[in-house]
Each structure stands twice: as structure tokens, then as C-alpha cells.
Structure 1
């Protein structure tokens, strides 16, 4: 495993120029950048208990009557259509979470949909979900929670108890997790991502050895994550935003596991990355759609349909401070006990997709090129208040500092400047009347390769 990992890292760090070594993304990571925005659906037994979700309680106390699971109107097509209307390009499902209950027909985990009366014990929500993703053009991913299992008494990967009894249970749990991962990786076709919530820990310690299974069964998918490897990183908060600047390069090939190499402020490093980092570990910005009015709901909770959904202005700020800062945004969506996304959530997702498209769907003009200076001609004087810059991300972070100028009355005036660009950088500035914008790369490593330099007028947007 380590040999394969080292080989892949060497392949991902070719030499450029006069002895420069620049980390670049793998093909799987390029897909992550290009996706820009996706969703994660959280669904588990406690959606049906009528109580406000309590993470501490649900990690410790098993739900005694698992037949409360009864989503009579479950419709994964409705879920995925709502995500598609928001502009999502991928979707992830919690196949199992902290209760240990599995949303598929598992031959390994008896605590799954085989055990309930719903659909006569024959339901497979993972199958329905993956089929809906493919039907509507989203890339499917699977989230596997193994760090906590309230039914089996697993807390932070550790089997409770002591002595030989606990050691035997720990060894069994590791094998149990590996077999579940093999089921999920081998039954549902190609997957965009396997996401281990809280990581999969250390295979040399308490954690299962899942990385070789994912590599063998899903060689084209993203792996997130264990103590050795993360194909992406958490952005340091659940606010849906990352820091400014946000570099995809990172000082080590793992993320926010218990290994931080002595970094004093690890959350700041997660939010910003490291321009001199030797590894490509791009950022994820995640937030629940229901995070407004002091709420932070990854799972549906009763009584919050009218007050918890973020307004459009907040969602657009998230978008510009995540996708617009070289990160990929993930919104958490919450099917209700009927098995549907609530109508207000669906409506807000549609508004979000429409507003993103209104602002950024059609540029006034666009260009691309190489070198340290690129001029974008608009054809006639018009008001501009935003530009987008994008590097050829497969070649890595080459731009280290830039400025953008507008030609106003024949003179070039700086309207914005910055450092990290990456896959996409959205720059807002006070409106100017201009017939041209000019991008100047002030600092760079290797020759700049600019995929997109485009101008926009977004005044009148929801503010």
C-alpha cells in the first residue's frame, strides 16, 4: 500500500522548469475541481424518532425500535432533481452513520434495511440513490461512518471494554468495516467518492485497512480519508466557506486526522492551504442547507421547515467564498420521515441554482492564454463589476500573485489583486465602465496557464 502511495505521489509531482517541483492534481482530483459544487444527503434512524438530533446521545444510545424507519413516500429521484436544479454535479449519501444502521441490503451488517418491515425488508436506498444520480447526470458518492457505532459500542473507533475481550472485538470490528466497504465499493458501479466521516483512522492501530479496498474496487474515485491519505481536505469549518487565499497545495498528504505534524493552528492551515506545500490536497467547504437562525442541521429535525433554511443571500456568499476561492462546496440536504426533501428546501435549492446561473452563467466576454499578461476586450464600453480567473488546474498552482486592471478613459486602473487562483477565483469590485480588462501575473512559478479570464456584470443580484 505504502509503495503504491509513494509511486502515485511521485507521479503527481513532476519537475517543471529549472529544477522546480510543483505538485499537481491526479485525474480524480481534477474531477473534484471541475465539479465545483455537490450535495450530501444525511439519512438515518433518528430522523424518525420525533426528537431534535443530538450527536452526543446518538453516538452512545442505540435506537431500540429500528422499525420506526418507514419512509412511505421515499423518492430519491426527487432528491436528485432538487440537487440538479441547484447546480450540483455530484451527490453523496450516508450509507451508514453513527447508529451503525445500513441503508442497503448488506450481507455483512445485519443491522440494515433487511431487518425492517419497510418494503418487506427488501429496500436498498443506496441502490435507489445511485440509480437516480445516473438517471439525472450527477456523479454518485458514498459516505461510510465507522468512527462511531452506538449499537456495537464503538466510540472513536475503539471497542469499549478491556482485556482480551475488547481486543478480540476490536479485531472483529476492523474486519467488519473492511467487509462493509468492499460491499459498498463493489456493488454499485463507478463512484465519485468514498467518504469516511471522521476518517478511517490508522490501519496500523484501531482503524480498518480500507484504502487498498477502495483502490482495488474503485480506482477512479476520490478517497477521503485516513491518517495516510486524503484526496481532499476539510476547509476548517462547517460554514460553507474557506479562507482567502485558499491554496490546493498542502504540507502533507493527509487532512484533519490526528496527525498534524505539530502545526500550531491546524484549522487555519486547513482553511488556507500552503503555497509551498509538496502535496495536492484541495479544499472542501461544507455546510448544511438548514443552518440559519442558529440552527446547524445535518439531519431533518421536527418543527424547523420554516426557519432553518439559509436565505439566498447567505447561500450566494457561501458560493463566492468557496467555489470562488478555489474550493468545492458541499451542501448538506435532509430528507424527512416521509422520504422526501421538504418543499421549502427544494424551492430554495432551485432559487440558488437560478441565481448562480444568472450571475455567472453568461460572461460579457472571455479569453484564455499563457504568459504573464492577458487582455480581455469587451468590444464596447460597458459596466463591469466582477471577473473570474481560472488556471489550467491540471498543471498546478503557477500563479502566485496577480492584479486585474480596467481600461477607463484610455488609462489602466487596478480594480482587484490577489494571490491564489487555482481552478476558479471570483473577484468582485465596484462597477467600472470599461472596454477592456487586463490580467497581469506579478509572481509565478513556471509559465502561467490561464484557462479562463472572463468579465461579468452582476448588479441587481440578490444582496
Structure 2
């Protein structure tokens, strides 16, 4: 049975499909599509791969970049098989080395011996992403420790021209990633970035691209590099007076967002599968386990964010077998523990029923499968099972197209001895995965206690996962 059937059994007679007004701000269509991706790969790749550095100095000889077996199709095959929806590549890191033959730099693949200076990593990756149906994204650091014009007004124009190359030669680009780092260039000067002009350039070239930085304008950094969103995680953020980098809001604000934020700027959780961001051979035995990745998943996607997992190619230009094995096993864990059909969807009509304390206060939209709950403070939804089930995971979702609304909720679970267990939560957002010690139950009650306007819930479900993988603080 499908989710929509589950809801229709209980609320067909209530279906009006006329919802209350949106709670502003609401996401753009591009942001909504980004929310749906949930999981993407980050690929840190460049001279640092060959120097064993994390931040290059900018004076590395171009010939050091020589991935003799580079295969972007291998990257995409692995990303697709692991369930990622896209790839973001470090087209230019702080060292200034460009993975494409930019005419605005002399520190590029063109000057290297790789493929006799005729290679173009971005060209190969964008083509492979199209072949495998993956979103193509680009990280480009405005800091440039190599370019002689860094630290002058001229450099801002150069940086914008580089972005024009990216969009006109390698698009479509789904997500553009800006690092706010701002150190000294080769002349000892720091750059005053023209962020307003940078944003305007991207908007004019590719309005469908979502832009990431500490303060958006479309996606924000989550405030840490561990991959964890806040247990309270608003998609709203106030950005007045803030800039990317050292001018960003405090990390705890980035982690939770602003409850009354003026802009829709959701958080993205970036984390590396290894201790470092670039490939280092001495870290081959330090790849995160599938279980560790699943815990990160619960604390990122499971808290309403998107997970951006860094899997750096090695010196051959291939994803190492240890990294590949880990993310494949991670995919298997997600499929086994959180399949598309949970306990409800695997139940028959006679196994359970949704019940509503005040049926007249529920409004179902058949098309979007959204339930609007009016008079929610004195209302609740219950799931009654005729036979006891074991559960330790509940997945809730909001219809974000109507704005993020739910501020507080709790779930009451009655065990077979009629004892009540309460799981309290704050925000839900795109997806909230709640895990807890296993309980045998026949009755689960969801009550929204605080919301900005009427709650707008999407179908939810229950799961029984390995108790050892219940979220750890």
C-alpha cells in the first residue's frame, strides 16, 4: 500500500485541497529541488593531491598535477551507485590552480604535463555527470595564492570572468560553492571581495544555479565540518551586516538558522570521508565506516539538511577502493534500514488505522499528499495497530513549498504494558529522522504543540533499525 492510500483511508471525507496562505519566506523552485537531492559528493582534487597538503601555497609547479589514470566516469559510476544525486568538484582551490584551461590564469591544467597540456577536468566531469544523470556542481575559491592581481580591484573582474568561463563552457551548473577564505596573495595583499557583483554575475549567467556560502544567498554553511545540523534547524537566516568568511554569523547561528529569518537559506552539511579533504595515502586506513556515515546521515539529512560528503580522488585520478567500499556499504545500510516502504506501507488496511482527534480540523490535498492541521494545539494524529509492532525510528516531513512551520512537537508511544514514552522535537523541515531505543507498541500519537500557522505534514512512516545504529549524541 502506498503512503497516499494510508492517508486517504482516514481522511478522504475531509479533502478540501484549499490551503491557508504560505508562511513567508518560501523556497524558490531551485531551492526545493536542492532539498530533494539530500545527498551529494564533494571531490577535493588538485595540486594538494600530489603535495600532501590541505592548503597549497600557490607556488607549486604546474607539472606536479599529473593524474595519469584520471577517469571521471569512474567517479560518476560510484556516485550514482552510492545514491548521490550530484558531484561538486574543487575547480579552483586557494592555491589558484584551475582544473580547466582558464585564459585568465597561467596556473592551470594547460601549463601542466598532464595530457600534454590538453586536458580539462571540468569538461570530462561535466560530460560524465550528464551521462550518469548527476547534477554537476563547482567549488571555486575567490582566494588565489598564485594570481599576481590578487589584492587589487582588477582581480574581482578576473574572478567574475573565470565564473563566466565555468557557466558558458561547462554548464548547466546545479550548485556553485564559494569558500569565504581570504588570505594573502603572492603580493602579500588581501582581496576585498565584491560579493554583490559575484552574485549578480551568476544570476545573469545561470538563474537556476543555487549559490552556497556562509550566508547564501541560496544555501548556507552549517557551521561545522563534521556533517551535523542542529536538532533545531530553521531554513531561515538573517544576513544583513554579514558576509562570507570572517564576516559570517556565529557558527551556532549557522547550525540552527534563525527562527524569524528574513530569507530562505537552508544549511548544507559538508564533511570528509577521511580526516583530510584532499587525498593522502597515509589516510587510506582512516576512511569512515558505513556505520559512522549512517550516523552522520541521521544528523544531517535526518535534521532537514543536505549531506555533502567529500570523497577525494587519489593521485591516479580515481576514487580509492577503500572510499568506494565505504560509501557502497553506506548505501546498503540506508536501503536496509530506511527503505522507501516502512512499517505503515508494508501493512495492510486491516493492520492499522490513522485516527484524528478532530477530523473536521484536517484538510488533505490529494495531489501533494499534504495534510493541513487546523486547531492543531488541541488536535493530534494517532496510528493504531491491531497487532503489536516494534519501532525505534520515525520519519516526519513538512511541505516546504508552503514554508517551514513546525516549531515544536512530540510523539507519544504506548508500549504493550500501557506505559508512555515521549520523544520531543523542534523543527522538522524537509525530513526529520527520529531514532530511540526499541519499543513494542500498538499506539503512536503525534501532536504538534507550536507552529507558524497551520502545520503542513507530508506522509510519514515508522521503521525498525539496528539498535546499535540509533542516533548517538
TM-score by length of 1: 0.83
Equivalents in 2 of 1:97, 1:415: separation in Å?
Answer: 47
Equivalents in 2 of 1:79, 1:232: separation in Å?
Answer: 25
Gaps of 5+ in 2: 1-18, 184-190, 346-368
Note if contact 2:23-2:452 (Cα within 8 Å) is conserved in structure 1.
no
Superposed counterparts of 1:48-447, under 5 Å:
48-49=50-51, 52-55=52-55, 58=56, 60-63=57-60, 65-147=61-143, 149-152=144-147, 159=151, 170-198=152-180, 205-207=192-194, 209-225=197-213, 229-252=216-239, 256-260=244-248, 266-291=250-275, 297-306=276-285, 308-361=286-339, 362-365=341-344, 369-371=371-373, 372=376, 373-378=380-385, 380-409=387-416, 413-447=420-454
Aligned to 2:7: none
- Higher RCO by CA contacts (8 Å cutoff, separation 6 or greater): 2
Measured after TM superposition, the shift of residue 54 of structure 1 is 4.5
Equivalents in 1 of 2:79, 2:153: separation in Å?
Answer: 39
Q: After the TM superposition, which of the residue ranges 217-226 and 415-424 deviates more from structure 2?
A: 217-226
SS class of match (1:352): helix
Equivalents in 2 of 1:143, 1:429: separation in Å?
Answer: 37
Equivalents in 1 of 2:403, 2:419: separation in Å?
Answer: 29
Q: Give me the CA root mean square deviation.
A: 2.6
SS class of match (1:303): helix
Inter-CA distance 197–256: structure 2 relative to 1 (3 Å threshold): closer
Instruction: Deviation per CA, 1:363-386: give whole Å up to 9, x if none.
Output: 111586221333335563211111
Note if contact 1:326-1:425 (Cα within 8 Å) is conserved in structure 2.
yes
SS class of match (2:104): coil
Note if contact 1:363-1:455 (Cα within 8 Å) is conserved in structure 2.
yes
Equivalents in 2 of 1:255, 1:384: separation in Å?
Answer: 44
Instruction: Deviation per CA, 1:233-271: give whole Å up to 9, x if none.
Output: 1111111112211111122266654445xx6xx111111
SS class of match (1:151): coil
Instruction: Deviation per CA, 1:4-36: give whole Å up to 9, x if none.
Output: xxxxxxxxxxxx969x95321111111221111
SS class of match (2:382): strand
Inter-CA distance 368–215: structure 2 relative to 1 (3 Å threshold): closer
SS class of match (2:26): coil
Measured after TM superposition, the shift of residue 45 of structure 1 is 1.3
Note if contact 1:322-1:328 (Cα within 8 Å) is conserved in structure 2.
yes
Note if contact 2:77-2:132 (Cα within 8 Å) is conserved in structure 1.
yes
TM-score by length of 2: 0.81
Measured after TM superposition, the shift of residue 79 of structure 1 is 1.2
SS class of match (1:111): coil
Equivalents in 1 of 2:204, 2:182: separation in Å?
Answer: 17
Inter-CA distance 331–255: structure 2 relative to 1 (3 Å threshold): farther
Inter-CA distance 377–195: structure 2 relative to 1 (3 Å threshold): same
Measured after TM superposition, the shift of residue 408 of structure 1 is 3.8
SS class of match (2:137): strand
Aligned to 1:162: none
Gaps of 5+ in 1: 1-15, 160-169, 292-296
Measured after TM superposition, the shift of residue 460 of structure 1 is 5.7
Note if contact 1:400-1:445 (Cα within 8 Å) is conserved in structure 2.
yes
Q: After the TM superposition, which of the residue ranges 69-78 and 111-120 deviates more from structure 2?
A: 111-120
Aligned to 1:455: 462
SS class of match (2:280): coil
Measured after TM superposition, the shift of residue 406 of structure 1 is 2.8
Number of positions where the alignment pairs a residue of Structure 1 with one of Structure 2: 414
Measured after TM superposition, the shift of residue 212 of structure 1 is 1.7
Equivalents in 1 of 2:333, 2:244: separation in Å?
Answer: 33
Equivalents in 1 of 2:326, 2:415: separation in Å?
Answer: 39
Note if contact 1:200-1:210 (Cα within 8 Å) is conserved in structure 2.
no
Note if contact 2:225-2:271 (Cα within 8 Å) is conserved in structure 1.
yes
Equivalents in 2 of 1:359, 1:255: separation in Å?
Answer: 40
